Amino acid sequence: MSLFHFVQWLNDSSWSIYLRENDWPFAIIETIHILGLGLSVGTIMWVDLRLIGLAMRRERVSDVVSSLMPWAIAGFIVMFTSGALLLLSEPMKCYTRLSFRLKVVMLILAGLNVLYFHFRVERSMQEWDEAVVLPWRARMVGYASMALWLGIIVAGRWTAYF
């Protein structure tokens, strides 16, 4: 079965039709998705702003990361789960939109950026934890994260309205 046929089958499923054709389920899921986005990306942005040196310069990076990451993870779980339901509600629309494909690519890149931070950059955090200007790798992770999440949000809105 090709990906197109799978998406077409999913689009014709009773769950997809129910979510797509009834006003309340879609509206509730979309609201939950946006709240999860605000929680997740909002807290991620604070970490990114600390990494690039624009906020919380007096705070240790490890303190910022450890205090905000549980909130970011909780928001991401809510956002990912509700996003999967939104995808289920309109699989053909998502499949045919360039904006959705760009969003998926940027989500993968954002995930790789997080992995890079945790497995490469964070290892040496003890050396620069209290520095005002952080190493270029830490700043790069912050800038990349901010750019990717901005792109993900724009592509998500683009998918919804165009």
Residue ranges covered by each domain of the chain: 3-161
Q: Given a cut of 80, is residue 16 above it in pLDDT?
A: yes
> Can you give the three-state secondary structure of 12-49, one letter per residue?
CCHHHHHHHHCHHHHHHHHHHHHHHHHHHHHHHHHHHH
Give the tens place of pLDDT for each residue, 39-61.
999 999 999 999 999 998 889 99
Q: Which of 50-59, 111-120, 145-154 has the lowest mean pLDDT?
A: 50-59
pTM here is 0.90
Amino acid of residue 145: S
Check residue 72 and give its pLDDT.
Answer: 95
Burial 94-103 (b: 16+ CB within 10 A, else e): bbebebbebb
User: In this structure, what are the phi and psi dihedrals at residue 126, rounded to the nearest 5 degrees?
Assistant: -60, -30
Estimate the crossing angle of helix 14-21 against helix 61-89, to 10 degrees. Answer: 100
Distance CA 157, CA 151 (A): 10
Q: Given a cut of 80, is residue 100 above it in pLDDT?
A: yes
